[in-house]
């Protein structure tokens, strides 16, 4: 049991007051000489046990009444999970609010969403604890949102759910900064979340920094994790994978790929058929998808496009796929846009004709008939003359860029452009884009265990390991791996860089890397430590690997070209939505919150389909062990929040009031004088 006003407990010694009064009263006796002692002796012998018991009961009831009065004024709370929260509560509470789409799941029993329920319960709890001011952090807004009273949180329009996947470590980082800057006293940090791994990002490197930061604070910070991740009824989600405008036998068609996933409340999955509604430019069609297990994927579903069903004509348009309603309406719709594919423009910066030739072969041959590919070769000094808006990929085979070149390339990368770097013949000390070449190294093929078994030139070193699960060297759609192991590498250029190794000759010698931007975020900078030159490798002669890798990076880069974008909420392009109009989506969303919500938005230049992050659909939760390791030595507790309770804690002063009244009534009954025996005063 905890108390909101624990200092009132200092008055507990007052419990002894009735006993002290009793003892003082006993000391204030008068001495009377008495003749009729025989009656007194008889009376004292009569029911002495009961009298003593009654006297003790009266004292007990009086002490109990005083104790209950003190407890009543101390405002006791009934909750074992809140710990010593009440005794250490401050007037300010920090709330980290998960407003991700999964928080829109309806709670069984109450009908409210998890977010609404959490706000309601948290508001009641903070009000009960006497918190005056609430500071709310969420992923959508950089600055904290301050409320003068906990009740104001519930109805505030800025705290409704959105399509943005939460970033709990990021919010903690900002909360730490707030505590430091504002020099708050002891503070309670409430984290309201449904414990999705996508929101908690347990592998994020910022957790360690956050943990250390909070531990080093002079004041005590206590974390209360309100776990809203309780199992609910079955939920289905739909997510668009791709939407392409293709030329088919019937004419122009829309090729759609989408995925349906379901999270099971309890029990084994049962096969069911889900009618998926597809809306393209206002025209609706339904396709039934058989869902046998936890997920189903529909690839290349063709819809014939006609000029009547799209305002923008055959070249450009938008649509959505929707599955029937369930417990979470936020993941039942996914939006897409399509347009006539733009030409994939590649810029090669190199002065080596053989390398240029090899790369041009890879960039000029289109993988699809409808896509045009073109390549332009320039010197590094001619970068200013390039129309960067049309460029999808820059292949850089020169000294690392400096000055204006670096500036242009950085801007290009920031806008979603892709850059593939090859080492120059004689690398200098220049460091740019997070890398620095350190010198060529000829590889000793005999040291490689599988060198002889590899096809082709058995004397060349082979790629020892590569990532076949994603990105440039990932398996093909039918699951076949790329023949990376057949590549022969004669020499590689060593480098200093931080990034993700996609292929490597050994642990120390990477072959292909993706350079990480600040905060471990992905960006479009790839570096290959050898060249397609015959002198360096068999990348050109065994060209399939290089062709696929370059086409993949080219496809990624081409997404920034054209007037349509399919993005996830929170990507940099979302900033463009401040001046957009909504073409599809939740009409109740405020215009200044378009960037945080799913839907189709139209700007002056772009048609943008914005969807939630794919991880939102997985339903993977943070395990208790992971949560424990995330908080480490911090003072934290986890509270599982149900749907029915109005508040996480309840004041139980009423019980003490009732007990006090009962004690007073019992005391009054015990003190009530008995019907007196009428003395025989009459004579004879």
Partner 1 sequence: MLPTARSFLDPKILSRLAAVPLMSRHAMQGNISGRHSSPHRGSSVEFAEYRKYVPGDDLRRLDWRAFGRTDRYYVKEFEADTNLRCCVVVDTSGSMAYASKGHTSKIEYARQIAASMSYLAAQQGDAVGLACVAEKIVQNIPPRRSAAHLKVILDTLENAKPSGDTQLPAILDEIAETIRQRALVIIISDFFVDPAILKGCFEHLRFRKHDVAAFHLLDPLEMEFTFQRPVRFTDMEGGQPLFVEPTEIADRYHRALKTYLTDLQRIVLETAVDYHRVITSEAYEHPMMRFLVGRTRGRGVR
Largest Cα span, the chain: 147
Residue 163 dihedral angles phi and psi, to the nearest 5°: -95, 10
Among 41, 177, 544, 668, contact with partner 1 (rule: CB under 8 A) = 41
Segment 54 to 93, residues that bind partner 1, using CB under 8 A: 55
Segment 143 to 202, residues that bind partner 1, using CB under 8 A: none
Query: Is 575 near partner 1 (CB under 8 A)?
Result: no
Among 36, 477, 518, 672, contact with partner 1 (rule: CB under 8 A) = 36
Other beta carbons within 10 angstroms of residue 165's beta carbon come to 23
Least distance to partner 1 from the beta carbon of 38, Å?
A: 5
Ramachandran assignment for 562, one of left (phi > 0), alpha (psi -120 to 50 degrees), beta (any other): left
Please say which residue, 267 or 673, places its beta carbon nearer to partner 1.
673
Only one of the segments 287-295, 334-342, 569-577, 671-679 lies at the binding site for partner 1 (rule: CB under 8 A); that segment is 671-679
Query: Is 31 near partner 1 (CB under 8 A)?
Result: yes
Among 1, 10, 12, 40, contact with partner 1 (rule: CB under 8 A) = 40
Query: Is 39 near partner 1 (CB under 8 A)?
Result: yes
Which residues contact residue 229 at a Cβ distance below 8 angstroms, ignoring those fewer than 6 apart?
A: 193, 194, 195, 196, 621
Only one of the segments 39-47, 169-177, 280-288, 447-455 lies at the binding site for partner 1 (rule: CB under 8 A); that segment is 39-47
Please say which residue, 521 or 672, places its beta carbon nearer to partner 1.
672
Cα–Cα distance, 83 to 150 (Å, whole number): 21
Query: Is 49 near partner 1 (CB under 8 A)?
Result: no
Query: Is 25 near partner 1 (CB under 8 A)?
Result: yes
Only one of the segments 21-29, 89-97, 106-114, 201-209 lies at the binding site for partner 1 (rule: CB under 8 A); that segment is 21-29
Two structure tokens written together for 646: 């109005």
Query: Is 674 near partner 1 (CB under 8 A)?
Result: yes
Size of residue set near partner 1 by CB under 8 A: 34
Distance from CA of residue 490 to its chain's centroid?
Answer: 44
Q: 600: closest CA among 571, 572, 580?
A: 580
Least distance to partner 1 from the beta carbon of 58, Å?
A: 10
Which residues contact residue 622 at a Cβ distance below 8 angstroms, ignoring those fewer than 6 apart?
A: 195, 196, 197, 200, 202, 630
Please say which residue, 24 or 477, places its beta carbon nearer to partner 1.
24
Which residues contact residue 71 at a Cβ distance below 8 angstroms, ignoring those fewer than 6 apart?
A: 3, 9, 653, 656
Which residues contact residue 38 at a Cβ distance below 8 angstroms, ignoring those fewer than 6 apart?
A: none
Please say which residue, 35 or 286, places its beta carbon nearer to partner 1.
35
At 127, is the secondary structure helix, strand, or coil? Answer: helix
Q: 147: closest CA among 110, 186, 190?
A: 190
Please say which residue, 32 or 271, places its beta carbon nearer to partner 1.
32
Only one of the segments 40-48, 153-161, 223-231, 549-557 lies at the binding site for partner 1 (rule: CB under 8 A); that segment is 40-48
Query: Is 51 near partner 1 (CB under 8 A)?
Result: yes
Q: 255: closest CA among 267, 246, 268?
A: 246
Cross-strand partners of 512? 503, 528
Query: Is 42 near partner 1 (CB under 8 A)?
Result: yes
Query: Is 677 near partner 1 (CB under 8 A)?
Result: yes
Contact indicator for 380, 398 with CB cutoff of 8 Å = yes
Least distance to partner 1 from the beta carbon of 659, Å?
A: 26
Contact indicator for 595, 146 with CB cutoff of 8 Å = no
Only one of the segments 26-34, 342-350, 469-477, 657-665 lies at the binding site for partner 1 (rule: CB under 8 A); that segment is 26-34
Segment 278 to 307, residues that bind partner 1, using CB under 8 A: none
579-602 b/e with 16+ CB inside 10 Å = b?
Answer: ebebbbbbeebeeebbbbbbbbbb
For residue 218, give the DSSP letter.
S
Query: Is 268 near partner 1 (CB under 8 A)?
Result: no
Query: Is 47 near partner 1 (CB under 8 A)?
Result: yes
Whose tokens are 């508001």? That residue is: 123
Cα–Cα distance, 242 to 232 (Å, whole number): 30
Q: 594: closest CA among 616, 615, 570?
A: 570
Q: 199: closest CA among 335, 97, 326?
A: 97
Least distance to partner 1 from the beta carbon of 666, Å?
A: 17
Cα–Cα distance, 260 to 668 (Å, whole number): 71
Among 29, 80, 353, 387, contact with partner 1 (rule: CB under 8 A) = 29
Among 7, 604, 633, 676, contact with partner 1 (rule: CB under 8 A) = 676
Please say which residue, 143 or 674, places its beta carbon nearer to partner 1.
674
Among 1, 10, 44, 544, contact with partner 1 (rule: CB under 8 A) = 44
Only one of the segments 90-98, 192-200, 290-298, 676-684 lies at the binding site for partner 1 (rule: CB under 8 A); that segment is 676-684
Only one of the segments 306-314, 452-460, 529-537, 674-682 lies at the binding site for partner 1 (rule: CB under 8 A); that segment is 674-682
Least distance to partner 1 from the beta carbon of 639, Å?
A: 53
Residues binding partner 1 (CB under 8 A) = 25-26, 28-44, 46-47, 51, 55, 673-681, 683-684
């Amino acid at each position: 049991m905890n108390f909101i006003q624990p200092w009132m407990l200092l008055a507990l010694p007052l419990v002894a007051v009735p006993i002290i009064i009793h003892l003082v009263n006993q000391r204030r006796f008068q001495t009377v000489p008495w003749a009729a002692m025989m009656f007194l002796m008889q009376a004292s012998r009569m029911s002495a046990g009961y009298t003593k018991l009654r006297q003790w009961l009266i004292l007990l009831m009086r002490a109990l009444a005083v104790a209950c009065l003190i407890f009543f004024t101390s405002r006791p709370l009934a909750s074992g999970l809140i710990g010593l929260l009440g005794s250490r509560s401050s007037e300010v509470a920090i709330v980290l609010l998960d407003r991700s789409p999964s928080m829109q799941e309806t709670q069984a029993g109450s009908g409210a969403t998890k977010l609404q329920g959490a706000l309601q319960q948290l508001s009641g709890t903070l009000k009960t604890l006497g918190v005056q001011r609430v500071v709310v952090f969420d992923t959508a807004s950089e600055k904290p949102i301050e409320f003068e009273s906990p009740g104001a949180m519930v109805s505030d329009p800025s705290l409704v759910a959105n399509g943005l996947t939460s970033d709990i470590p990021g919010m903690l980082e900002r909360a730490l900064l707030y505590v430091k800057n504002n020099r708050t006293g002891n503070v309670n940090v409430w984290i309201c979340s449904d414990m999705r791994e996508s929101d908690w990002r347990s592998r994020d490197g910022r957790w360690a920094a956050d943990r250390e930061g909070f531990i080093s604070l002079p004041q005590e910070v206590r974390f209360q994790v309100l776990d809203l991740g309780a199992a609910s009824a079955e939920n289905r989600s739909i997510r668009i994978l791709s939407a392409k405008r293709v030329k088919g036998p019937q004419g122009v068609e829309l090729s759609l790929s989408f995925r349906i996933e379901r999270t099971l409340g309890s029990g084994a999955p049962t096969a069911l058929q889900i009618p998926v509604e597809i809306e393209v430019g206002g025209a609706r069609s339904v396709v039934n998808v058989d869902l046998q297990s936890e997920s189903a994927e529909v690839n290349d579903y063709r819809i014939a496009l006609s000029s009547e069903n799209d305002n923008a004509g055959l070249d450009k348009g938008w649509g959505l796929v929707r599955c029937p309603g369930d417990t979470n309406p936020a993941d039942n719709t996914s939006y897409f846009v399509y347009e006539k594919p733009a030409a994939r423009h590649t810029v090669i910066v190199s002065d080596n004709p053989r390398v240029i030739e090899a790369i041009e072969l890879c960039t000029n041959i289109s993988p699809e008939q409808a896509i045009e590919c073109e390549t332009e070769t320039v010197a590094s000094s001619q970068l200013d003359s390039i129309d960067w808006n049309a460029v999808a990929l820059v292949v850089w085979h020169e000294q690392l860029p400096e000055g204006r070149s670096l500036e242009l390339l950085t801007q290009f990368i920031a806008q979603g452009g892709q850059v593939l770097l090859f080492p120059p013949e004689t690398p200098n000390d220049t460091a740019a884009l997070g890398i620095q070449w350190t010198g060529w190294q000829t590889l000793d093929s005999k040291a490689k265990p599988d060198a002889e078994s590899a096809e082709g030139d058995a004397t060349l070193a082979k790629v020892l390991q590569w990532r076949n699960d994603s990105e440039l060297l990932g398996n093909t759609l039918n699951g076949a791996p790329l023949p990376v192991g057949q590549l022969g590498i004669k020499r590689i250029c060593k480098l200093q860089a931080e990034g993700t190794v996609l292929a490597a000759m050994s642990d120390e010698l990477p072959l292909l890397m993706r350079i990480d931007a600040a905060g471990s975020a992905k960006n479009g900078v790839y570096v290959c430590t050898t060249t397609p030159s015959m002198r360096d490798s068999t990348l050109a002669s065994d060209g399939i690997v290089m062709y696929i890798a370059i086409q993949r990076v080219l496809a990624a880069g081409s997404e920034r070209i054209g007037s349509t974008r399919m993005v996830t909420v929170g990507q940099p392009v979302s900033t463009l939505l401040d001046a957009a109009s909504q073409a599809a989506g939740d009409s109740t969303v405020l215009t200044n919150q378009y960037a945080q919500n799913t839907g189709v938005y139209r700007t002056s230049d772009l048609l943008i389909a914005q969807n939630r992050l794919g991880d939102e659909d997985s339903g993977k939760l943070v395990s208790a062990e992971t949560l424990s390791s995330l908080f480490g030595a911090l003072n934290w507790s986890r509270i599982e929040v149900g749907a029915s309770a109005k508040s996480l804690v309840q004041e139980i002063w009423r019980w003490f009031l009732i007990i006090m009244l009962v004690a007073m009534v019992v005391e009054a009954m015990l003190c009530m004088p008995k019907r007196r025996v009428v003395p025989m005063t009459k004579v004879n």
